[in-house]
């Protein structure tokens, strides 16, 4: 999982709120389940995931549980085997996806009017699912570029319409500004106008200046495409506007590789199927490391919660579907495959989705997804606010402050909210940096990332904060039980459909617009 936490002002919860089991005034006592779900039990699963990651060393040269690795396959087999032993109805849903791979380092350089060699990572990045090509051509900006940038994100409509390429000279490289529509739409429009390459630069608002790490989404496009910082794009634009001819060399060598993956789906044997509660997290890691916080922490905690529910003999009022997704790190592919594969009638049976991705970050904050959009202006589908209230109410009973985080599309709730299904969940932070205010409330170190090992080799069994894991696992267990046992409906279930209803900024690891 890759996240950019959209933080609002820290909200301290100082009063005890009655736990609303999906609108009901009285919740279910979760104390027995919370006591049964221990850090010790969770760590056993995480150690198993670490061992499986270690088994990938012979092939990858380091531990990993990335899709297609033996570490991932053994993780899938382990979860499925454990869930069957607990008495759940288990399905392993296999699928494949086209993984984008660069087969050689990219190149980007200004030939004229200045000789400048740009640095990958510092100045530019290849867009995922870029086409391959090695071209030297003049740069031509689209219409609708806005410099200086507008006051708000999305002011620029550059490249979003065919008319933006009016007068475009075929054989040129298109210079496009981020804003409004997806990067894929921009590049496809450029290709249609005859562009042999595309440079997409950031829009320029305070949080839109860095080098773009974007995705064009599969399938692979034809033209080579890169993302740059606002400053680089603005410099090229300024040169052209001053009447100079700008020529660049752009080279991308890339392909897609068919990669196997799997989802593990495990259902309780009782409960209303027309109010199915999906409790999920992703099982894969990035290639670079074993992913024991991201997302062994969520995966292991869901597994231990399911185990203890079975051991305690919980008979849910509503069917609980525990899910471990594959392909999250490549764009929420497992969750997307799951919801896309469901008939409309079964999709409508999903009452809500609870998502748990990274819940033991070493320099943690207790983030709760902002279901009602009151703090981040990115509300989930109708009913998501009720899920947020359940988490808020639980943490209030424990005297633990929380902070909202936005539905930005960077984890597996994305395909659910896109189809109008209420969602919520927990998160303890990734590459974002802890503020002094947060350190005063949650402890830890200001000025340091929530998880300094995020997407790295050091995200191993030692990269866990047991205090965070203990607190978040209790909240996970409580919410799972509240929604499993409620006789009330979470608003919005009837809105679920096969049609996407939202367009989030991220698609898992990368920006998509």
Q: Which of 243, 465, 474 is nearest to 361 (CA)?
A: 465
Two tokens, residue 166: 């009016």
CB 423 within 8 A of CB 381: yes
Is the bond preceding residue 295 a cis peptide, omega within 30 degrees? yes
The SS3 assignment for 81 reads helix
The mean pLDDT value of the chain amounts to 92
Convert the pLDDT of each residue in 320-334 to its tens digit.
999 999 999 999 999
CA distances from 35 to 30, 83, 304, 316, 373 (A): 9, 20, 12, 18, 32
Catalytic residue among 128, 203, 304, 328: 328
Per-residue pLDDT at 26 exceeds 90: no
Q: Phi, psi (5° rounding) for residue 505?
A: -70, -35
What pLDDT, on a 0 to 100 scale, did the predictor assign at position 491? Answer: 66
CB atoms within 10 A of CB 304: 25
Q: Which domains does the chain have, with CATH numbers?
A: 31-88+268-511 (3.40.630.10), 100-256 (3.50.30.30)
Output the pTM of the full model. 0.87
The Cα–Cα gap between 106 and 121 comes to 10
3-state DSSP of 286-347? CCCCCCCCCCHHHHHHHHHHHHHHHHCCCCCCEEEEEEEECCHHHCCHHHHHHHHHCCHHHH
Is the bond preceding residue 226 a cis peptide, omega within 30 degrees? no
What pLDDT, on a 0 to 100 scale, did the predictor assign at position 496? Answer: 53
What pLDDT, on a 0 to 100 scale, did the predictor assign at position 504? Answer: 74
Give mean pLDDT, residues 139-160. 93
The Cα–Cα gap between 123 and 230 comes to 10
Convert the pLDDT of each residue in 80-94 to its tens digit.
999 999 999 999 999
Give percent above pLDDT 70 in the chain. 92
The Cα–Cα gap between 12 and 406 comes to 17
- Whether 329 is catalytic is no
Answer with the residue of higher pLDDT: 378 or 169.
169
What is the total residue count of the chain? 513
| pLDDT-derived band at 154, boundaries 50, 70, 90 | confident
């Amino acid at each position: 999982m890759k996240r950019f936490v959209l933080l609002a002002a820290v909200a301290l919860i100082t009063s005890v709120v009655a736990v609303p089991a999906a609108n009901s005034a009285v919740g279910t006592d979760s104390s027995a389940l919370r006591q049964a779900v221990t850090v010790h039990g969770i760590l056993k699963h995480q150690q198993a995931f670490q061992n499986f990651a270690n088994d990938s060393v012979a092939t990858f040269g380091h531990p990993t549980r990335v899709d297609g690795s033996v570490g991932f396959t053994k993780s899938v087999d382990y979860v499925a085997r454990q869930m069957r032993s607990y008495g759940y109805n288990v399905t392993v849903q296999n699928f494949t996806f086209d993984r984008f791979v660069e087969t050689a380092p990219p190149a980007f350089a200004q030939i004229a009017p200045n000789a400048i060699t740009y640095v990958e990572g510092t100045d530019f990045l290849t867009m995922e699912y870029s086409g391959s090509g090695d071209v030297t051509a003049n740069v031509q900006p689209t219409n609708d570029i806005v410099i200086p940038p507008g006051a708000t994100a999305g002011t620029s409509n550059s490249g979003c319409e065919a008319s933006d390429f009016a007068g475009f000279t075929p054989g040129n490289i298109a210079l496009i500004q981020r804003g409004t529509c997806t990067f894929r739409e921009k590049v496809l429009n450029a290709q249609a106008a005859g562009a042999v390459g595309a440079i997409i630069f950031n829009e320029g608002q305070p949080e839109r200046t860095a080098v773009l790490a974007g995705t064009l989404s599969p399938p692979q496009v034809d033209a080579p495409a890169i993302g740059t910082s606002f400053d680089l794009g603005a410099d090229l634009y300024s040169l052209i506007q001053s009447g100079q001819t700008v020529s660049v060399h752009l080279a991308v060598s890339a392909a897609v590789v068919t990669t196997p993956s799997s989802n593990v789906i495990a259902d309780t044997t009782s409960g209303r199927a027309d109010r199915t509660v999906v409790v999920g997290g992703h099982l894969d890691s990035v290639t670079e490391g074993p992913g024991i916080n991201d997302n062994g922490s969520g995966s292991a905690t869901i597994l231990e919660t399911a185990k203890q529910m079975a051991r305690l003999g919980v008979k849910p009022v509503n069917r609980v579907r525990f899910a471990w997704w594959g392909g999250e790190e490549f764009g929420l592919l497992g969750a997307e495959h799951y919801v896309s594969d469901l008939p409309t009638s079964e999709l409508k049976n999903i009452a809500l989705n609870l998502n748990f991705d990274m819940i033991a970050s070493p320099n943690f904050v207790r983030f709760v997804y902002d279901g009602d959009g009151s703090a981040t202006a990115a509300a989930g589908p109708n009913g998501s606010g009720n899920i947020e209230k359940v988490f808020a109410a639980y943490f209030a009973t424990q005297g633990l402050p929380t902070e909202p985080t936005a539905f930005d599309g960077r984890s597996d709730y994305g395909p659910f909210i896109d189809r109008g299904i209420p969602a919520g969940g927990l998160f303890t932070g990734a590459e974002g940096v802890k503020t002094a205010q947060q350190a005063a409330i949650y402890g830890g170190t200001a000025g340091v990332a929530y998880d300094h090992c995020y997407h790295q080799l050091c995200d191993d069994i030692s990269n866990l904060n047991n205090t965070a894991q203990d607190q978040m696992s209790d909240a996970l267990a409580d919410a799972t039980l509240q929604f499993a046992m409620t006789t009330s409906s979470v608003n919005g279930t009837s809105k679920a459909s096969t049609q996407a209803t939202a367009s989030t900024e991220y698609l898992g690891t990368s920006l998509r617009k």
